[in-house]
Structure 1
Amino acid sequence: MPRKPKPFPISSNTSFFEPGSTVEVSPDEPGFHGSFYLATIISPCRSGSFLVEYKTLVGNSSEGSEPLREVVSLAELRPLPPPETKWDFRVGGEVEAYYNDGWWEGVVKKDLGNGKFAVFFEDSEEQIVFTKKDLRLHRNWVNGKWVPPFEDSESEEGKIVPVTMKCNKETRPERFSKGTIVEVSSDEDGFQGAWFTATVLEAAEKDKFLVEYQSLTTDDESEFAREEIDILHIRPAPPETFVVGRFDLLDEVDALYNDGWWLGIISKVLRGSKYEVYFRDTKEAMVFQHSELRLHQDWIGGKWVMASRI
C-alpha cells in the first residue's frame, strides 16, 4: 500500500495573506498569464490555497452579478505593492499596465511624449498606448521579497512605508561584442520561461545580434543553429551561483531541461539531493538533481538581481 504523501508545507510567507488582507492574484489560466487582479483574502483553505474575493471581477449568481470568489494557490498570490512616485519609464523597460480591470506585464516600446507610452505585450503580441498614470514598474514577489526591491522601511507594526523611488539613471541597450556568451529567450509557444546559451557572432541591424546556439541544432542536426535575436530577448550569461547544502522550498530556480534553462519553483525537497520543481506556464512538476538547478536571477537595468532567500 503506497504511503500517503505529506501535506504541502506552508511557508512563513503566508503571514502576508491573513483574512482581510488586500492582495493581487495572478490567475494560472490560459489568457491570463502576466496579469494581476486586486482581491481580498477571505479565508485559508487546504494545501496552502486561499479563498479570495476579487475587487474588479464579477461572477454570475441567481441574484445577479456579484464580486467573483475563487480558491487560488499560494503561488498565484502576492501582497499589494507599496505605492511609489516620481519614476521614469524607459524604452525597453518592464512595466505593468492597467488594462481590462487588471495589471498586465509588458515592455515599453516607444516614448510618444506628453506622458504617453506604447507598451508591447508578448503573450498577445499586441501594442497599446497608455498614459503614465496607468503604468507602474514591474516587480516579482519571490520568497517574501520584492524583486527588484522597493526603497522602503518598516513601521513599528511591520507594514511597508512607501518612499519615493529613484529611477533617474537612464537605461541604455546592452551592446554585445563578437564572441560574448549570452542567453536567449523566445516568445514561441512552448518556449516561454526558457533561456538557451549562445555565442554572439556579430551585430546585425539596429538592436539585433546574430547568435549561434551552443545546444540547439539545425533540423538535420548537422550544425548548431544560428538566429538573429533582438535586444529584448538576449542577456549576458548569468554569474555562477553556488548553493551550499540544499535548495529551500519555494526557491525560484532555473532547471536544465531540453537543452535550456527553464524557470520554476521548488515545490518539494526530496531525499538524495533531488527536488520537485513546478513550472507555472505548463502546470507541470518534474524531479531534478541538485546539479541540474541554479538560483534564478533577473537581468534588470544592466544588473543581475536575485531574490533574498528565507
Structure 2
Amino acid sequence: MADFQFKKGTKVEISIDEEGFRGAWFSGMVIKPPTKNGKVLVEYDTLLADENDSIPLREEVDLVQIRPIPPRESSRVFNLDEEVDAYHNDGWWEGVITQVLQNGEYSVYFRPNREQSDFKASDLRLHREWVHGRKWVPPLQDEEDKLHVLATTIQVPIRHSLGEASEDEEPSRFLMFIIFSCSILPTGRQVVQPTAGKNAHQQKEEKLFSPRSLVEVSSDEDGFEGAWFAATIVEVIEGNKYLIEYKDLRTEDDTEFVREEVDELHIRPCPPPAGKIDRFKLYEEVDALYNDGWWVGIISKVHRSKYAVYFKGTNEELEFKHGDLRLHQDWIGGKWVMASQV
C-alpha cells in the first residue's frame, strides 16, 4: 500500500504540540503540501485565528502532526473497556469506555487527568492509529462483519533504528493496542469530581491506601507524565492526601529515599501479576522499567533475547530485557483492566 499523499485540499486531522492539547486531533485541510523540510500549511475547520472573528486558523505544522481522516463505521455499539476517541471542545480525545449507560450514552475515562465524562454514541468513534503513513490499526471492519471477531491478520511493521521489521512477519497472536498520550482534557464538560462525602469507590481506595501499603505513584511534572513509580504509604493525611516514600528515587545527596505528599488521584495499588509470560509478542502493550519507573509502550520488534519497545509520547524506541517488562494494565473504577486482545 502506497503512503498517503497530503496534497492541497486533502482533508486531514491535525495534532497540536502544546500544553493542554497533546493527544487531541482536530479536523482541517491541507493548504500547501509538505515542503522539503517536512512542513505543511493547514487550515483548521473548527479552530479560529482569533476569538473575536470567524477566520479559520492557519499554521505550519510538521508532517508527523497530520494524518488522514480516520475511517468510521456508520453505526456502532461500543463495549465496556473499549478504547475510543471522544469528540470534545472541537477535537477528538483518547479514552476508554468505563460504563454503558441505559440512556444510550457511555461513560469515558481519560487516563492522563483521571476524569470521566458521559458521551452520546454519535460523539464517539473507535480509536485507531495511523501507522507509518500506510494503514490504520485496527482496520475498518466491513459492515457485514461487525458482529464477528476480527479474523484478518494485522501486520504493521514498525521501522526503527534497531532495524526494519519485515512485512512477512506473522506473530502468533495480535494485540489491538492503544497508547494513551499524556494529554489533558480541556475543561468545559461536566466531569465526575470528588465530593465532600465518600462514595463506595473512594471508601474502597481509602482502605487500600493505608500506612505501609505498597503502591505506585504518578507525576504530572514535565517529562514524567504517564510513568508510575513504586512507593510505600507512610502516613494518611487529611484532604485525600498521603505521605509516600519512593522505593527507588533518592534525594540529591543520595542519603535517603524521596518522600512527598500526593493526592489519591496519583496513587494506585501495585498491578497484580499477569501470569507467567514466557515470551512477549509483537504489538503487545507493555510497561517497561526505565529510569526507576514503569512507562507504557508497545513491543515493536522481538529479538532473540531482548525486545524493542516503542514509546508514542516521545516517539522513541529502546531495547529491554524480558525481566524489565510486564503486560500493561490500567486501574479503572477500582479494578485492573488489560488491553483488548484479538
Q: Whose relative contact order is higher, 1 or 2, with alpha carbons under 8 Å and at least 6 apart? A: 2
Q: Deviations over 1:44-79 (max 9, x none)?
A: xxxxxxxxx999469xxxxx999x999769x99976
Give RMSD over aligned pairs: 5.1
Identity level (%):
46
5+ residue gaps, structure 2: 2-11, 30-41, 48-55, 96-108, 130-135, 149-198
The letter for the 2-side match of 1:172 is H
Cα pair 2:14 2:27 within 8 Å, conserved:
no
Map of 1:158 onto structure 2:
145
5+ residue gaps, structure 1: 1-9, 11-23, 41-52, 59-63, 88-94, 107-118, 146-153, 162-169
- Residue 246, structure 1, aligned to residue 246, structure 2: no
- Residue 172, structure 1, aligned to residue 201, structure 2: yes
The letter for the 2-side match of 1:158 is D
User: Higher strand share goes to which structure?
Assistant: 1
Distance 2:275 2:77 in 1: 34
Map of 2:323 onto structure 1:
291
Change (3 A) 1:309 1:247: farther
**TM-score normalised according to structure 2 size:** 0.52
Q: Deviations over 1:254-295 (max 9, x none)?
A: 000111111111111122x21111111111110001111001
Change (3 A) 1:186 1:139: farther
Q: How does 1:230-245 map to 2 (within 5 A)?
A: 230-242=263-275, 244-245=277-278
Distance 2:239 2:326 in 1: 32
Could you say what secondary structure the match of 1:232 adopts? helix
Distance 1:298 1:34 in 2: 18
Q: How does 1:146-295 map to 2 (within 5 A)?
A: 157-159=144-146, 172-173=201-202, 174-175=205-206, 176-242=209-275, 244-271=277-304, 273-295=305-327
Change (3 A) 1:140 1:289: farther
Change (3 A) 1:291 1:84: same
The letter for the 2-side match of 1:103 is W
The letter for the 2-side match of 1:308 is S
Cα pair 1:192 1:281 within 8 Å, conserved:
no
Change (3 A) 1:137 1:230: farther
Distance 2:275 2:260 in 1: 31
Distance 1:305 1:26 in 2: 30
Q: Deviations over 1:104-141 (max 9, x none)?
A: 469xxxxxxxxxxxx99968xxx9xx997799799976
Distance 2:91 2:247 in 1: 39
Cα pair 2:287 2:297 within 8 Å, conserved:
yes
Change (3 A) 1:28 1:236: farther
- Residue 103, structure 1, aligned to residue 92, structure 2: yes
Map of 2:23 onto structure 1:
34
The letter for the 2-side match of 1:284 is E
Change (3 A) 1:65 1:180: closer
